[in-house]
Amino acid sequence: MTPTALYRLYDANGSLLYVGISSDPSKRFREHRSASQWWPLVASRRVEWLRHRPAAQQAERKAIEAESPAWNVVFTAKAAQQNKQSRAAQASIPLRRAPKARAPRDQEGPAHELVAEFDREIQRIEAIKREAMMRRNRRLREFQAETGWTQADMVRATGYTRETIRQALNPEIREAVKARRAAKRKGAAPGG
């Protein structure tokens, strides 16, 4: 079983901000840093390792219920009350997914110009990348024709994956793979 950390995050006054669990606390702290509005308040942390995830989950729930951290949402008395109200409301109202609200996209102005500039830059970079890959593939085909090396030899010598070499040496395979990926993306699109 995977050891799992139970961590507590505190502000400069020692007040408990948040309790959580993770098998990789450093990664989780980076996620909090980029996504949690309360992260700038964190001044210290305490990490306790437990033998496995179920034990950590149980300890997390107990800690949140007993210590009432300021920013936890689940396992709090407030969350329990909201959950109870939500279940009562769901019993009388059929479930429907609300349509996603989208902010209107500027059709003109500085934001639109910035987005258009980035789109052009991305297209330019992608064109450069496609051209570089075509040159690489052409050179790999020429090299194999000159040396007679097998695909395995080329994988060992270049460090490219077997699939990259296979597609470089057989352009029709590359096109088939691209077509399959495009069809998969199209099939995965909403309503598709």
- 4-81: CATH, from 3.10.20.30, 3.30.465.10, 3.40.1440.10, 3.40.50.300: 3.40.1440.10
> What are 59-75's pLDDT values in tens digits?
999 999 899 898 988 77
> What are 121-162's pLDDT values in tens digits?
999 999 998 899 889 999 999 999 999 999 888 888 888 888
Instruction: Give residue 81's pLDDT.
Output: 62
CA distances from 188 to 99, 103, 175, 182, 183 (A): 19, 24, 20, 10, 9
Confidence (pTM): 0.43
Residue ranges per structural domain of the chain: 4-81, 110-188
φ/ψ (deg, to 5) at 107? -95, -15
Residue 94 has pLDDT above 70, yes or no: no
Tokens 């270049």, located at residue: 158
Q: What span, in angstroms and rounded, lies between the C-alpha atoms of 80 and 92?
A: 19
